[in-house]
Structures are given as structure tokens and as C-alpha cells.
């Protein structure tokens, strides 16, 4: 299947040059070529490194009162994710953290905590909070999974241990994974054995804790560490042994904005690259099929639905038509307003803005051009000039249509072409 984003060789060269000179591309290239400290140290995908970073966020020694702010933001994240059980103690904590009424008096954070014959808890946050003027206790038990699934029945053992050993505390069990927010929202239950865990993802930590933290007046040292960690999360993990694992753990606000602009600016070139891979006989068939499906699916959602108006000397000639008909309706407007002479005909005949001749006789149209309906030769001729019948090219993308608009308006100042999204 061919798409409206298909490019010819000269267009590909032009798009590559534009790609290389785009400031957005240069910013992304600089960002992704920078190696974060976790990458340099070789543990950007090690669970212990991420557990240690989260523990650092809650360190009073490093952050003072900001550590309490970070803990409250983390509890806010838990409050907006579904849980199988919401006992009265959990409900109190979640309701009060949302209303800014949760008063945490003290807390302690530990990583890799060994518990009696039940394994090692990745992160254990113990805190005391005021409830009705009385101190109450709570435990956040975090099982952190970066590149692997749950081992055995870890979550079952942790749940049993804390419910037995800390029955009077508010025990909140968390299953932390790097899946996307879309995947997380689609889950009916957590992906661990024990369904009493609340599953959250790293993207939530970025969106609801780290990004708000950076917007506060934090020290330059804290800012640098957090920015470095965000870089580690967003770096594609394509050099590891198993690239089928989550290649991006989370994306920060800066990356998301840059990548969105990058996609918008270079969509056609990216489609061309994917098309080349999807049709490369040297690549495994399964890979080609997956890429082909992706290209087809994305094309359906990104198809340009903009409409075009043509106005000549203040008169509306054609309104709200698809850009595929821009060449045809320009030709009709020129013919209708008696502008078609030998010079204008040669001007139109020589135009190749859409990478095809704007006008062709039926005998000039190739079988490939007929197959992909670049010219509608199965219907009446669209222009008759000096006894010859011509058809108008339909191979218009947004970029070529806008370029054509400039050429036509320069040649015919009274003719205006207007695009509307």
C-alpha cells in the first residue's frame, strides 16, 4: 500500500537536508548523545539504581523539608491509581493527601530490606502521621521491576509478612514498573501475583513528582541530579542484550515537546524510512510485517484532513475541497477566467511541483501512475487544449501543495489559495 506521504528521490534529499538543519533535530541529537551518569556507570537499567534514586528523593539529609514534599507527591500518585482494597486507613491517607491535610511527622526510607524468610523488599518507607491528634503508622512497600517480571511469589510473601507483622499499621503495597501510562490505564488488575498491590509506573513519577519538583526553587545540585535521571529514563535502551525489554522507561516534559515537534516536522521522511525498512528483502519477514502494520495504522491517524479554497478576484471558485484536487481546481479556475493562453499552458505543462507532470495526455500516463491513481484517466479529460485531452496530477502532499500555492499566486496575483485545518 502506498501513502500520501510517499516521497520521490529529490524530495527525500530535500527532506534529509531539512532534517539535519532543523534546530529541533539538533537539540534532540545533543540530548540523546549525552550519556547520563547511570549510563556511564553501567546501571541505567538496574533496579537497585532506581530504588536508590527514589530513596534519595526522600532523604532529609539531602533535601531537608523538601523530602517531605516529595513523599507527599509520591502518595498523591498512589491515590489516583486503582487498588483492589482501599481500607479505611488507606482511604484516610489518600483523602487527606489530596486535600493537603496529611500531616507527616516523621519517616524513614530503606532499600533492599531483608525480611524474615520472605526475601528483600526493594523499598520500604515507614512514616508516622497525625490522625485526630494521635500518631499513626504507615508502611509503603515498593516492589520495583525495571527489566524483569515478578520472581516467584514475591508479592504474595511481602503481603503476608506485613499484614502479619504490622497488622495495626496502614500497609500500602506498590508494584512499580516502566510500562507506558496508556498500558497502565488499560490494565484491569496489577501485573503481579498479589492483586492487593497498587501498580504505578515511572512516567507517573516523572509527571507528578519530578517535573513539579523541578519547577520549585531547588538547588543547582538537585536540579542537575534530577535532570540527569530524567535523561537516563528517556534514553532508548537499544544497546542491551535484550532489546525487547522496555526501551524507554519514561519521558520528561522537555523530551515530549521536542519529540512531538520532531514528528510534526519530519513525518514524511520518517514514513519514507519506515517504508524502506518494510520493503527491504534483507530484513526478516516478521519484522517487515510489524513495520508495515505500524505504517498503515499510523497513516490512518495522521492523514492530513485539511481543506482548500480557491478565490479569484474576490469570487469563491472552489470551497473546502481535498488537497488532492488542488491542481485540478487551479486549472479549472484558470480556464474558467479565460487566462489560458499558450504561455500559461506551457507554464502549467512544465510544472512538476508534486513530482509528476501537472498535465499529461492519456498516452503519457504510465501503468504505475494509473495503478496508484496519480491521474484519473478512467473518466472524462479534465482539460482540452488545442484538440488535445489532458489529465491533472493528483499526487499532492501538504508540503507540495503549499509550494504550488506560492508558485500559482506569484503567477496570478488575483488567484488566492487558502488552506484550513
Tens digit of each residue's pLDDT (9 = 90 or more) over 289-327: 888 887 777 766 556 667 999 999 999 999 999 898 999
Q: Is the predicted pLDDT of residue 168 greater than 50, yes or no?
A: yes
Within-domain flag for 239: no
Question: Would you list the DSSP string of 296-354?
Answer: HHHHHHH----EEEEEETTEEEEEEEEGGGHHHHHHHHHHHTT---HHHHHHHHT--TT
Over residues 144-160, the mean pLDDT reads 85
Over residues 107-117, the mean pLDDT reads 89
Under the banding of pLDDT at 50, 70 and 90, the label for residue 36 is: very low
Within-domain flag for 260: yes
Q: Are 89 and 205 part of one and the same domain?
A: yes
pLDDT at position 157: 93
> pLDDT for 59-97, tens place per residue?
888 888 889 999 999 999 999 887 766 789 999 999 999
How far, in whole angstroms, is CA 74 from its chain's centroid?
24
Whether 229 and 235 have beta carbons less than 8 Å apart is answered as no
Over residues 159-183, the mean pLDDT reads 92
Q: Are 188 and 296 part of one and the same domain?
A: no
pLDDT at position 28: 58
pLDDT at position 87: 84
The structure's pTM equals 0.56
Q: Are 272 and 363 part of one and the same domain?
A: no
Residue 363 has what DSSP assignment? G
Within-domain flag for 4: no
Within-domain flag for 238: no
Instruction: Give the full edge-to-edge strand order of the sheet including 119-131.
Output: 104-115, 119-131, 134-144, 170-177, 198-201
**Structural domains of the chain, count:** 3
pLDDT at position 118: 76
Q: Are 60 and 170 part of one and the same domain?
A: yes
Residues ≥6 apart with Cβ < 8 Å to 289: none
Q: Are 87 and 223 part of one and the same domain?
A: yes
Domain of 390, in residue numbers: 307-420
Residue among 146, 207, 208 at smallest CA distance from 179: 146
Q: Are 298 and 345 part of one and the same domain?
A: no
Q: Are 22 and 44 part of one and the same domain?
A: no
Q: Are strands 170-177 and 198-201 parallel, antiparallel or unpaired?
A: parallel
Q: Are 266 and 352 part of one and the same domain?
A: no
Within-domain flag for 79: yes
Element (DSSP H or E) covering residue 267: helix 253-278
Q: Among 32-36, 37-41, 358-362, which stretch is predicted with the lowest mean pLDDT?
A: 37-41
Within-domain flag for 240: no
Q: Are 291 and 316 part of one and the same domain?
A: no
d(CA 375, CA 324): 11
pLDDT at position 44: 44
Whether 328 and 356 have beta carbons less than 8 Å apart is answered as no
d(CA 274, CA 271): 5
pLDDT at position 369: 84
pLDDT at position 250: 61
Residue among 227, 161, 198 at smallest CA distance from 85: 198
d(CA 99, CA 84): 23
H helix intervals, 9-87 = 9-21, 23-33, 37-40, 47-57, 60-63, 66-79
> pLDDT for 43-59, tens place per residue?
444 678 888 889 999 98
Q: Are 131 and 181 part of one and the same domain?
A: yes
Within-domain flag for 243: no
d(CA 247, CA 64): 34
pLDDT at position 246: 45
Q: Which residues pair with 321 in a beta bridge?
A: 308
pLDDT at position 69: 93
Residue scoring higher pLDDT (149 or 255): 149
Under the banding of pLDDT at 50, 70 and 90, the label for residue 170 is: very high
d(CA 387, CA 328): 19
Q: Is the predicted pLDDT of residue 7 greater than 60, yes or no?
A: no
pLDDT at position 256: 66
Residues ≥6 apart with Cβ < 8 Å to 405: 326, 417, 419
Within-domain flag for 147: yes
pLDDT at position 146: 80
Q: What is the mean pLDDT of the chain?
A: 83
The domain boundary residue, chosen from 170, 200, 231? 231
pLDDT at position 363: 94
Q: Are 298 and 328 part of one and the same domain?
A: no
> pLDDT for 192-249, tens place per residue?
999 999 999 988 998 889 988 888 877 888 888 888 888 777 765 544 444 434 456 6
The domain boundary residue, chosen from 244, 279, 302? 302
CA 7, 11, 12, 14 dihedral sign is negative
Q: Among 4-18, 162-176, 357-371, which stretch is predicted with the lowest mean pLDDT?
A: 4-18
pLDDT at position 10: 65
The domain boundary residue, chosen from 302, 324, 344? 302
Q: Are 170 and 61 part of one and the same domain?
A: yes
Q: Is the predicted pLDDT of residue 13 greater than 70, yes or no?
A: no
Amino acid at each position: 500500500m502506498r501513502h500520501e506521504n510517499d516521497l520521490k528521490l529529490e524530495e527525500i534529499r530535500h527532506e534529509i537536508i531539512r532534517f539535519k538543519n532543523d534546530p529541533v533535530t539538533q537539540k534532540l541529537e545533543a540530548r540523546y548523545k549525552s550519556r547520563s551518569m547511570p549510563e556511564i556507570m553501567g546501571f541505567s537499567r538496574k533496579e537497585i539504581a532506581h530504588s536508590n534514586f527514589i530513596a534519595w528523593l526522600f532523604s532529609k539529609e539531602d533535601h531537608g523539608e523538601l523530602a517531605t514534599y516529595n513523599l507527599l507527591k509520591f502518595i498523591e500518585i498512589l491515590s489516583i491509581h486503582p487498588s483492589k482494597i482501599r481500607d479505611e486507613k488507606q482511604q484516610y491517607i489518600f483523602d487527606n493527601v489530596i486535600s493537603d491535610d496529611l500531616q507527616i511527622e516523621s519517616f524513614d526510607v530503606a532499600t533492599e530490606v531483608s525480611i524474615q524468610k520472605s526475601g528483600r523488599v526493594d523499598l520500604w518507607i515507614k512514616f508516622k502521621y497525625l490522625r485526630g491528634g494521635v500518631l499513626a503508622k504507615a508502611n509503603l512497600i515498593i516492589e520495583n521491576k525495571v527489566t524483569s517480571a515478578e520472581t516467584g511469589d514475591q508479592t504474595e510473601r511481602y503481603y503476608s509478612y506485613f499484614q502479619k507483622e504490622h497488622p495495626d499499621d496502614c500497609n500500602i503495597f506498590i508494584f512499580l514498573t516502566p510500562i507506558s501510562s496508556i498500558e497502565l490505564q488499560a490494565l484491569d488488575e496489577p501485573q503481579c501475583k498479589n492483586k492487593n498491590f497498587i501498580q504505578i509506573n515511572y512516567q507517573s513519577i516523572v509527571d507528578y513528582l519530578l517535573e513539579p519538583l523541578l519547577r520549585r526553587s531547588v538547588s543547582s545540585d538537585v536540579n542537575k541530579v534530577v535532570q540527569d535521571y530524567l535523561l537516563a529514563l528517556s534514553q532508548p535502551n537499544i544497546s542491551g542484550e535484550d532489546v525487547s525489554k522496555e526501551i524507554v522507561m519514561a519521558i520528561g516534559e522537555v523530551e515530549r515537546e521536542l519529540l512531538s515537534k520532531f514528528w510534526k516536522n519530519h513525518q514524511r521522511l520518517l514514513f519514507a524510512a519506515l517504508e524502506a525498512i518494510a520493503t527491504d528483502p534483507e530484513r526478516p519477514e516478521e519484522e517487515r510485517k510489524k513495520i508495515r502494520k505500524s505504517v498503515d495504522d499510523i497513516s490512518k491517524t495522521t492523514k492530513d484532513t485539511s481543506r482548500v479554497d480557491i478565490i479569484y478576484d474576490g469570487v469563491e471558485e472552489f470551497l473546502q475541497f481535498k488537497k488532492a484536487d488542488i491542481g485540478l481546481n487551479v486549472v479549472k479556475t484558470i480556464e474558467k477566467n479565460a487566462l489560458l493562453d499558450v504561455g500559461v499552458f506551457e507554464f502549467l505543462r512544465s510544472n512538476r511541483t508534486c513530482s509528476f507532470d501537472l498535465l499529461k495526455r492519456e498516452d503519457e500516463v504510465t501503468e504505475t501512475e494509473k495503478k496508484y491513481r496519480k491521474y484519473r484517466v478512467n473518466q472524462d479529460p479534465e482539460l482540452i487544449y488545442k484538440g488535445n485531452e489532458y489529465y491533472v496530477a493528483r499526487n499532492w502532499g501538504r508540503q507540495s501543495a503549499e509550494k504550488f500555492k506560492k508558485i500559482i499566486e506569484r503567477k496570478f496575483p488575483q488567484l488566492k489559495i487558502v488552506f484550513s485545518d
